[in-house]
Structure 1
Amino acid sequence: MKGIDKGKVHRVEVEDAENTHTNSNTITEIQKHLPELTELFDPTAGENQPGVRLTDCIAFDEFVPPREPSERKEALEEREQILEAKFTMVNEIPNAYVAATDATVPREVRHQAIAGYMVHSSGRLVTKAKFAAGRVTAPDAELYAIRAAIIRTIQFGDCSMIVIFTDHIAAAKHAVDPSMHSGQGHSLAVCAELSKWFSGGLECSIEFVQVPSKIGWHVHLAAHDYVRDTPAVSGRCLETSLNSVRQAVAKSCVDSWISEFQHTSYRGNHFLQMGDMRDRPLKPSILKGGTWLSFTATESIATTARMARCILGHAPLGKYRARFNIDGEIQCSFTQHGKTDSPRRLGDLMDFLRANPRTFAFEAPSEGIG
């Protein structure tokens, strides 16, 4: 075997390095973040047995103030009055306790979420507390706050009625759901304590009331400010919930998607690049139906198909014909996507398609077909 000639420069080809690089896929991202999970689950919890579940034995009240689609100032003020009347009424009931719960999630990953509550009875504040909740998502932290508030109010020996004011009604529903989910430990603790409380001989009741954050209702706002007015809490080996791991995996995958999407070899040579309101190229997203299809939520299937045909360069029809050697037009027969007079924003494109219902429409089938 001949040795390497040290007199020559041995060049390494790097032109295709970017294209051969493969971003982490979902499986590898899960493997990366799963060791961070510290949450424990109980798939065979006694509280989750059919017929024994708290929701199978007890009906829970859920109060959601009526909402108007317009959310006018008058409508918001009316909803605030409803909440105030509810709060006043409960405070006039003997042995009734009202808890306003809230939570906040920091932007920095190294900091912990904060969950807290403020408990009122007979028109006065009787107790309040807040806790570091670990590395969790907003729903997890809200669930923690509700759990802490319920268990604390039950500890008052004369308590026979609990009303929880929360801006996260989904977390309230999870609080009495003992099945496996992120934050199951909080739910199991709530179900166990409420079961003892309801079987204590008193006529007890619990109700969850939704408080829209945008109203800024003073009772819930006080709890909100109390929780937010907390110095950043960091720590090592933070308690990490399942939802937090899922969120980290999803973010990594979306970041990889956005990175891949910048290359024409990934998105396709005929893909029509659209801009946002600041004329920045649109980025793919998994939220609210995605970047493009979210604009067609109220549109017909035909309009959605025309939009897809325009943006994708009439793919996959042309690509399909080319791949399988099928006769027919492969290139766009309507227009060139590079024209400067074509809509550059997705909203403008949708307006254009509505005004021109035949543009990018599919041709009628030949006679005798279909």
Structure 2
Amino acid sequence: MRPARASRPPVGEVRKAPLIHRAAFRCIRFNWFIALAATDGSVPQSNQYQAASAAIIYKGHHKLERTRYVSGRVTTPDAELNAISCAVRLAVKRANCQHIMVFTDSMGSAHRAVDPGVHSGQAFSLSVCRVLQEWFEADDLCRITFVYVPSALRWDIHGEAHKYVTELKVRVGRRKTDNSIDALRSRVAHSVLDSWNSTFQDPTYRGSEFLELQQPDGRPLQPSYLNGGPWLSTFGHSITEFARVCPCITGHAPIGAYYRRFKINEPHGCTCGAALQSRQHILFRCRDRYSVHYPRFLGDIASFMKYNPTAFGFNRDPSGVG
């Protein structure tokens, strides 16, 4: 994969390690025109430790270089990109080869490594592009291949790099620690989400009629910005379904109990004959509706909406959406 430049378009290869037969890999290791670079990044779960990056360079069975270092407070893609950048620079400098094969478990970071555009690790990408451009110009036969290796495989030299980087544990000290843009953005987002979850516990903020639901692990369902949030993602991002489920959950659906509560001149009773058309009645007792067990999870509500396409919708619209 070559970095973009005016005179030559990007080219490259992406392979998966399981597809490389052991015999073929042995041939690659005996080819002195090929340098093998294993890279990995590690971001500890505890905020007390810094992220780490590692790169191991082989030529044949000879280990040319092995290095690991702290990357600061960064995201996992940042740490992976840092490792790839280091590996490419070391391979070009030390290996004296025509082909560099980089083994990584982060293809997203591999693509970013040769992308000089604006992103969190742009400085590392620019250094990779600069080194590769000089290397390509020196010999038209030079090429680089990024090979995807799932970290869980602990495969050969990549497994060695994984073990090497995860052994490095460096605490965050009093000195200034490097932070990437993505890491700072993630920290702010999680801080806002924590504040949102805390505020959501207050009924005056959430709303007294808000339908309390649970996560599969039994914890109360909390708001989130990830993938559109838990409510929207459950309904497949369908605007039609969400337009009905939203008033159902918040207690603002156009039903009898809502009309009575806000003194709206509309019937309070249910079409099945019940005196009051409440949310509980519609979900559990109405003879005109498909019955589901107690709706502890959003999936239960989604199932109910599927079998009752006009429930909690406006009567004037056949699709149930006002």
TM-score range, shorter chain: 0.7 to 0.9
TM-score, normalization by structure 2: 0.80
- Residue 122 of structure 2 is matched in structure 1 by 184
8 Å Cα contact 1:260-1:266 kept in structure 2: yes
- Give me the CA root mean square deviation: 3.4
- Counterparts of 1:229 and 1:55, CA distance in 2: 42
- Counterparts of 1:362 and 1:86, CA distance in 2: 65
1:348 pairs with 2:300: yes
> What secondary structure sits across from 1:292 in the alignment?
helix
8 Å Cα contact 1:119-1:149 kept in structure 2: yes
The range that moved more, 138-147 or 216-225, is 216-225
1:296 pairs with 2:296: no
Aligned-pair CA distance for 1:331 = 11
- Residue 266 of structure 1 is matched in structure 2 by 205
1:60 pairs with 2:11: yes
- Counterparts of 2:91 and 2:229, CA distance in 1: 42
Aligned-pair CA distance for 1:187 = 1.0
Match of 1:114 among 41, 48, 52: 52
- Counterparts of 2:161 and 2:206, CA distance in 1: 47
8 Å Cα contact 1:96-1:160 kept in structure 2: yes
Aligned runs of 1:82-161 on 2, under 5 Å? 82=20, 84=22, 87-156=25-94, 158-161=96-99
The range that moved more, 352-361 or 132-141, is 352-361
Letter in 1 for 2:144: I
Unaligned runs of 5+ in 2: 271-275, 285-292
Question: Using a 3 Å threshold, how does the CA distance of structure 1 residues 329 and 314 change in structure 2: closer, same or farther?
Answer: farther
Letter in 2 for 1:292: W
- Counterparts of 1:279 and 1:157, CA distance in 2: 55
Matched length: 300
Question: Using a 3 Å threshold, how does the CA distance of structure 1 residues 149 and 207 change in structure 2: closer, same or farther?
Answer: same
> What secondary structure sits across from 1:237 in the alignment?
coil
1:249 pairs with 2:188: yes
- Counterparts of 1:284 and 1:56, CA distance in 2: 49
Letter in 1 for 2:205: Y
8 Å Cα contact 2:36-2:59 kept in structure 1: yes
1:273-302 residue CA offsets vs partner (Å, 9 max, x unmatched):
1012233211111112211112122x7544
Question: Using a 3 Å threshold, how does the CA distance of structure 1 residues 279 and 111 change in structure 2: closer, same or farther?
Answer: closer
Unaligned runs of 5+ in 1: 1-51, 66-78
- Counterparts of 1:181 and 1:169, CA distance in 2: 16
- Counterparts of 1:55 and 1:211, CA distance in 2: 31
TM-score, normalization by structure 1: 0.71
Aligned-pair CA distance for 1:309 = 3.3
| Structure of higher RCO (CA pairs closer than 8 Å, 6+ residues apart) | 1
